[in-house]
Structure 1
Amino acid sequence: MNRAQISLLAHAGHPIAAPLDDDSVRLLLDRVLPHVDARVLDLGCGPAEWLLRALAGRPRLRAEGVDVSADALARAREAAHALGVQDRLVLHHEDAADFAPAHTFDVVLSVGATHAFGGLRATLAAARRHLAPGGRVLIGDGFWERAPSPEAEEMLGDLGDLPSVMDTVAAGGWTPVGGHISARRELDAYEWAWTGSLASWALDHPADPDSAQALAAADAHRDEWVRVYRDCFGFVCLVLRPTSG
């Protein structure tokens, strides 16, 4: 069982794949999608839950998603057919950092996928390349709510605190016009869903050869969350517009 397969199982109960509840997702989409006929791109879309929710409520919207996981994209196609939005969704199986479309987009999303580009600064630069004049970006990334332990830093990488995130945004030529900082209940609900969905699958399929690995992964993740980063990790989503051309 590879990392992508584990992720799909772990996110079964929380398909948005980020520490936000449904109301927060809806409000962010309303903020970043001011036009009913916008063209939207999700860089690192996974099963494309952000795009599916946007398409379901906006019949003139058109969307494209990019991801390296064939399994996640297959899940997205199934869901798009179930919702009846498959004709307005194009999915690309490739590295989001290498994506080179023939046109630009009114909205670019990248929530929880900055690792695909090597960090927030590079993700914002990629979003700008794909953004049409007057467009908006929705970016979501982790930050340190308080000073992390060395173990937490090693585990989650080179995150900054919230002021550092805002400095990076401003230095890249962006102005926030909306946003959301995940509440503790959203962060905890996400982790319980991640570990619970994966553990439940393992316990429901004891004869599966991947069951033991899935259960061990759920246990390890839960232990890391509780013991290492729960008290210091935060998550912020920002709706951005270019400050200047």
Structure 2
Amino acid sequence: MSREQISDIAHADHPIKSPLDDESVGALLERALPRGYERVLDLGCGTAEWLLRALASRPCLHAEGVDVSEVALTRARRAASELGVEERMVLHHREAANFESEQPFDLVINVGATHAFGGLLPTLAAARKHLAPGGRVLIGESFWDRDPSPAAIEAFGDLDDLATTVDRVVADGWTPVHGHVSTRSELDAYEWACWGSLASWALDHSADPAGAQVLETATAQRSQWLHGYRDSFGFLCLILRETPLMTTGK
């Protein structure tokens, strides 16, 4: 079974592929999309959950999503059809880093997919190229909430702490206008949902040759979380606007 198939199963009960509950997702979208904002782009959209929720709440909104997973995009198209918003959403099957658009966007989203660009600042550089004047970026990034163990570093690599993460964003020319740090409840709910969904699938398909592989993956990932990074991993969402060049007169 491929990695994207395993990911699809893991997120069956948690379609937002980040440690955020529905209330937090709704609040972030409400903050990121003041009335009058009409064009939204998600770079690394997966199953386009952010776009689908935005489209469902804003009848004048038009959205575009970019992702390398045809499995995820097929699921997104099906969901858009069921919601009746398919005419207002365009999905592109390609590398997000290579995407080019003819028109700018009022909101650019990248939550939990900065790896597609090689990190936080390269992701913001890509978002800036697609952003309309006065537009906003909604970005989600991991950070170390406490000193990580060697096992945590092995799982996620070198992350900054919360303050350093925000400082890097500000130094890059952005002003945070809102933020959300995932709670312990959100972090735990996400992990339990992912590895529980995998385990349930494996048990329900015990006769399937892939069942043993999926159960092994669920067991290994749950153990890595509980013994490795649960006590140190954090997740931050920021809504950003570009910082203007300001001059002061005497």
Q: TM-score range with shorter-chain normalisation?
A: over 0.9
1:95 to partner: Cα distance: 0.6
- Residues 155-197 of structure 1 deviation map (CA, whole Å, 9 limit, x = unaligned): 1012100011111111110000011000000000000000011
| Equivalent in the alignment of 1:170 | 170
1:205 to partner: Cα distance: 1.3
Letter in structure 1 aligned against 2:98? D
Letter in structure 2 aligned against 1:45? C
Q: Verify the 8 A CA contact 1:37 1:62 in the aligned structure 2.
A: no
After superposition, the CA RMSD in angstroms is 0.9
| Equivalent in the alignment of 2:85 | 85
- Residues 201-233 of structure 1 deviation map (CA, whole Å, 9 limit, x = unaligned): 111111222111111111111000000000000
| Equivalent in the alignment of 2:100 | 100
Mean Cα displacement is larger for which, 46-55 or 197-206? 197-206
Matching of residues 214-233 of structure 1 within 5 Å: 214-233=214-233
Q: Quote the Cα distance in structure 1 between the aligned partners of 2:184 and 2:155.
A: 20
Mean Cα displacement is larger for which, 206-215 or 109-118? 206-215
Letter in structure 2 aligned against 1:3? R
User: Which protein is bigger by CA-based radius of gyration?
Assistant: 2
Letter in structure 2 aligned against 1:115? H
Aligned length: 245
Secondary structure, counterpart of 1:45 in structure 2: coil
Structure 2 unaligned segments of length 5 or more: list them.
246-250
Letter in structure 2 aligned against 1:153? I
Secondary structure, counterpart of 1:90 in structure 2: strand
1:199 aligns to 2:199 (yes or no):
yes
| Equivalent in the alignment of 1:243 | 243
Matching of residues 30-109 of structure 1 within 5 Å: 30-109=30-109
Matching of residues 174-185 of structure 1 within 5 Å: 174-185=174-185
1:36 to partner: Cα distance: 4.4
- Residues 51-105 of structure 1 deviation map (CA, whole Å, 9 limit, x = unaligned): 0000011111000000000000000001000111000010000010111111110
Runs of 4+ with >2 A deviation: none
Q: Verify the 8 A CA contact 1:11 1:197 in the aligned structure 2.
A: yes
Structure 1 unaligned segments of length 5 or more: list them.
none
Letter in structure 1 aligned against 2:216? A
Matching of residues 127-166 of structure 1 within 5 Å: 127-166=127-166
Normalization by structure 1: what TM-score?
Answer: 0.98
- Residues 116-157 of structure 1 deviation map (CA, whole Å, 9 limit, x = unaligned): 111101111111011010100000010000111122112101
Normalization by structure 2: what TM-score?
Answer: 0.96
